[in-house]
Amino acid sequence: MVAFNSVPAYTASFLLSLYFSSVQARSPGVLEAIEPRAPKANNTGHSGDKSASGGGSFFKFVTRPDIGAPRWNIKIFDEEALAPGYWFLAPYANLGQVSYPLWNGPHIYDSSGELIWSGAPMFDHRNTHDFKTTVVDDQLMMTLIKTDDVHEAGVIMDNTYNFHSRVDMRGALADANMHDFTVRDNGKRALFMTQKTGEDYDVDIGDYKGPCNVGWQGFRELNLDNGINVFKWNALGHIPLNESTKLEASFEEMCTDKKDGWDILHFNAVDKFDDGDYLVSARHTDTIYKISHKDGSIVWKLGGRHSDFEFPDFRTKFTRQHHVRFHSQNETHQLITLMNNAAGHGHSKYEKPSSESSWGLFLALRVDQTPMTVELVARFQHPLGEFTTSRGSVSILPNDNAFVGWTYRSVHSEHAPDGRLLMYAEAKHEAANTYRAYKLPWVGKPSAPPDVHSAAMDFGDQGMSTMVYVSWNGDTETKSWNLLHTTPSGDEAELIATSARQGFETVLSWKGYAKYVQLVALDAEGSEVGKSKIIKTIPPRSLETLSVADEAKWLEDHSLTAVSDTVADSLILKRLGWFGYPIVAFTLGFMCCAVAVAAGYFLFQARARSKMEWVKWWQHPMPGYKSVSGSDDEEKEQWDLEDDEGHELEQPKSKHRIYVTRPSGEVGRQDEDRLGRGAVSGRVPFVRQVTGPLVTQ
């Protein structure tokens, strides 16, 4: 089985055959690396420079002011060689989130940089990471890591942009981190990283012996059907401290850092081999580990201080690597990809550049010989020759191209199998970074209706026009829009305009005034794929001051076509409101008369009871009470309690008045028994003990 987001099985087989053929044709044991060639001129008839939707750093939409997705500077060198698919990116401002800009969150773009979907509002503009697709229950779905103030969780969403499930990434040895979340096996399993910090361990390293606050990390494979760990592993007891190259100070200073602890490993990727073993990347040891699924032992180490592999070709070496992925294997070789960051943060010698820039690497591991060796399949250079000092991603696409995410400014690039640069894109806003970038197939069918904004504009002598804006967040199928002039109920509609889709948001206009409109989405075959709600057009200010007759006349003067009787009637009814309907007017009049009669009776009864204290009259006996005294002495007046069948209950041995409140207005049997025994304390449900005249409760 092929790992998630790696080369499909048929592609991996093709690459393996291509690779081994090339090895046989060359000197045995070592594959000559094919250097990336300078980008050739675009062969599609234009310069190759694109800027998604004009100026500005962010998209702005009339229909969705809550969306402010990043926009792109794009350079294309060979458009025909690009693979189909959509960009999956999750821009963020900073990892330690202190602000919530509109563009923070998961986004999908087409290959020209036009926005398809923004999930930023859905996730409250919080940071999200590792945004990609997978197959769950035989359906293509999206997965991501959502961060919050407490814990992180894996989220699975379907292609209607509704939540399918949420994976609690807590438990086991520690909380999860934001580096990796991979759903496998048709949604049955999930792989993610864990970390354990805040504890001291006794260590003996170098010239230091004593307690050490070490950040031990690991991973889990979780059964999503029952939440049980299929496999869990932690580096504690497997990887010694002396493998770490995270040395910014003395061993004692690193160990006694109580704030952050000694991050000796910094695991940032986990994947799984076909044989069941696990592949793990540790940035702070410059090493990739193969972990046995049987006993958790380390099968081999690739890179770092204690590598089990030799690197005959210096171009296969890496440091501070990220996003290692297994692709395929046979009896002699295993194929993996990774981001060779080639530089890190900090000031130690281990953080300094180990190459002229960062590279994406496609490597073949020769595992059938001793010593094992590393051979180069291809490598992909940063399009601007820069360093990505943290994060990043490398994916192999179905057509064998490579898609590489460079994190900073969300730069991402696509390369031919020989390393040739085909395109790259860069966010116009410098602070818009993305942990990983993917190019993936996707069909979005949002369950929410399209968003519409309609407004009438008066151009004076040139007449009136209705301007309509429409968007459908997440839709990939709409190719054109039909604009309908309709009624509030939608029982009559007229097609007045049509337009090809213009990107995320499309603008349609009609020379005339359409008070109610509806938008219909059509696919490439002209079939309806969705429609908006009926929207009332915002009228010009002058229209609001006209009488009903003048408004109808105005409509005739400002419409190219005559307004139908139905539409005209609906306009009059809308101006009159519900009073325009006879049955509504009659009902309201009858109700007003009934209220007046009731009010008169109320005043009459109040006058007749003028000798009674007003507060006493207000506390008219409730159901369950019966008057037994007609005395004018209100303080001596008593009330007998009755049960539901009208039988008298024993009078409490007290001068206290009893006030019983039940939600249903009835006296329950349990309360009756208690009241009969004189149990009138406040502990009885719905029973209150009061003294003196009854007061309003």
Span 459-479, pLDDT tens digits: 877 888 999 999 999 999 999
Same domain, 215 and 121: yes
Looking at the chain, how many residues does it have? 697
Q: pLDDT digits over 368-392, tens only?
A: 999 999 999 999 999 999 999 899 9
Mean pLDDT of 542-554: 68
Cα distance between residue 433 and residue 407, in whole Å: 5
Cα distance between residue 341 and residue 392, in whole Å: 8
The enclosing H or E element of 268 equals strand 267-272
pLDDT at site 278: 98
pLDDT above 60 for 7: no
Q: How confident is the model at residue 213 (pLDDT cuts 50, 70, 90)?
A: confident
pLDDT at site 307: 97
DSSP state of 70: B
pLDDT above 80 for 517: yes
Mean pLDDT of 664-691: 36
Same domain, 184 and 220: yes
pLDDT at site 607: 63
Q: How confident is the model at residue 523 (pLDDT cuts 50, 70, 90)?
A: very high
Same domain, 368 and 228: yes
Last residue within a domain, chosen from 402, 418, 440: 440
Bridge partners (DSSP) listed for residue 538:
455
Share of residues in the chain with pLDDT > 70 (%): 70
Mean pLDDT of 515-533: 98
Q: Which residues contact 214 (CB under 8 A, 6 or more apart)?
A: 199, 201, 203, 241, 255, 261, 262, 264
Residue whose entry in the numeric block shows the structure tokens 């044989």: 275
| Residue 599: inside a domain | no
| Residue 493: inside a domain | yes
Which of residues 624 and 31 earns the better pLDDT score?
624
Cα distance between residue 48 and residue 74, in whole Å: 8
pLDDT above 90 for 362: yes
Last residue within a domain, chosen from 406, 421, 440: 440
Instruction: Take residue 359 and report the two structure tokens written for it.
Output: 């590279």
| Residue 556: inside a domain | yes
Which of residues 159 and 672 earns the better pLDDT score?
159
pLDDT at site 606: 65
Per-residue CA distances from 550 to 438, 485, 486, 520, 596 (Å)? 58, 21, 21, 31, 37
Instruction: Take residue 34 and report the two structure tokens written for it.
Output: 């094919």
Q: Count of domains in the chain?
A: 3
Same domain, 92 and 228: yes
pLDDT above 70 for 19: no
First to last CA, the chain: 71
Q: Which residues contact 36 (CB under 8 A, 6 or more apart)?
A: 379, 380, 381, 415, 418, 419, 420, 421
Same domain, 355 and 402: yes
pLDDT above 80 for 597: yes
pLDDT at site 281: 98
pLDDT above 60 for 407: yes
Q: What is the dihedral of CA 616, 622, 628, 634, to 10 degrees?
A: -10
Dmax over CA atoms of the chain, in Å, equals 121
pLDDT above 50 for 483: yes
pLDDT at site 215: 84
Last residue within a domain, chosen from 410, 440, 470: 440
Mean pLDDT of 668-697: 36
Mean pLDDT of 175-184: 82
pLDDT at site 559: 54
Per-residue CA distances from 466 to 493, 549, 660 (Å)? 16, 21, 63
Burial class (CB in 10 A: 0-12, 13-18, 19+), 140: middle
**For the domain that residue 305 is a member of, what is the CATH number?**
2.120.10.30
| Residue 546: inside a domain | yes
Q: Which of 596, 601, 539 is nearest to 571 (CA)?
A: 539
Instruction: Take residue 484 and report the two structure tokens written for it.
Output: 């309908």
List strand residue ranges (DSSP E) for 23-114, in order.
49-51, 72-76, 86-89, 91-92, 107-109
CB 395 within 8 A of CB 337: yes
Cα distance between residue 423 and residue 75, in whole Å: 6
pLDDT at site 239: 94
Q: How confident is the model at residue 344 (pLDDT cuts 50, 70, 90)?
A: confident
Q: pLDDT digits over 551-594, tens only?
A: 667 666 655 443 444 444 444 444 444 555 567 667 777 888 88
Bridge partners (DSSP) listed for residue 421:
415
pLDDT at site 601: 76
Mean pLDDT of 96-109: 86
Cα distance between residue 47 and residue 554, in whole Å: 50
Share of residues in the chain with pLDDT > 90 (%): 53
DSSP state of 642: B
pLDDT at site 98: 66
Q: How confident is the model at residue 251 (pLDDT cuts 50, 70, 90)?
A: confident
Which of residues 448 and 216 earns the better pLDDT score?
448
Cα distance between residue 679 and residue 419, in whole Å: 89
Cα distance between residue 278 and residue 291, in whole Å: 5
DSSP state of 27: S
Same domain, 363 and 382: yes
Instruction: Take residue 181 and report the two structure tokens written for it.
Output: 């979340």
Bridge partners (DSSP) listed for residue 49:
75
Same domain, 535 and 435: no
| Residue 605: inside a domain | no
Q: Which residues contact 54 (CB under 8 A, 6 or more apart)?
A: none
| Residue 677: inside a domain | yes
Which of residues 657 and 87 earns the better pLDDT score?
87
List strand residue ranges (DSSP E) for 433-490, in order.
433-434, 438-440, 451-458, 464-471, 480-486
Mean pLDDT of 177-191: 92
Q: pLDDT digits over 416-454, tens only?
A: 999 999 999 999 999 899 999 999 999 999 999 999 999
The enclosing H or E element of 208 equals strand 208-213
Cα distance between residue 257 and residue 261, in whole Å: 5
Mean pLDDT of 341-355: 81
Which of residues 310 and 253 earns the better pLDDT score?
310
- Mean pLDDT, the chain, as a whole number? 79
Cα distance between residue 437 and residue 405, in whole Å: 5
CA 389 to chain centre: 26
Dihedral sign for Cα 71, 72, 73, 76, please: negative
Q: pLDDT digits over 60-79, tens only?
A: 999 999 999 999 999 999 99
Mean pLDDT of 97-112: 89
Which of residues 519 and 247 earns the better pLDDT score?
519
pLDDT at site 331: 94
pLDDT at site 266: 92
Q: Which residues contact 115 (CB under 8 A, 6 or more apart)?
A: 59, 67, 69, 107, 108, 109, 503, 504
Structural domain including 547 reads 451-576
Sheet of 163-168: strand order equals 128-136, 139-146, 153-157, 163-168
User: What's the 3-state SS for 309-336?
Assistant: EECCCHHHCCCCCEEEEEEEECCCEEEE
**For the domain that residue 561 is a member of, what is the CATH number?**
2.60.40
Bridge partners (DSSP) listed for residue 146:
128, 153
Same domain, 321 and 221: yes
Mean pLDDT check: name the lowest of 124-133, 292-301, 400-409, 669-678: 669-678
Same domain, 251 and 133: yes
CB 380 within 8 A of CB 34: no
pLDDT at site 630: 39
Same domain, 148 and 173: yes
Same domain, 532 and 618: no
pLDDT above 50 for 51: yes
Residue whose entry in the numeric block shows the structure tokens 């002396």: 242
Same domain, 398 and 517: no
pLDDT at site 316: 97
DSSP state of 538: B
| Residue 587: inside a domain | no
Which of residues 83 and 568 earns the better pLDDT score?
83
Mean pLDDT check: name the lowest of 9-18, 489-498, 501-510: 9-18
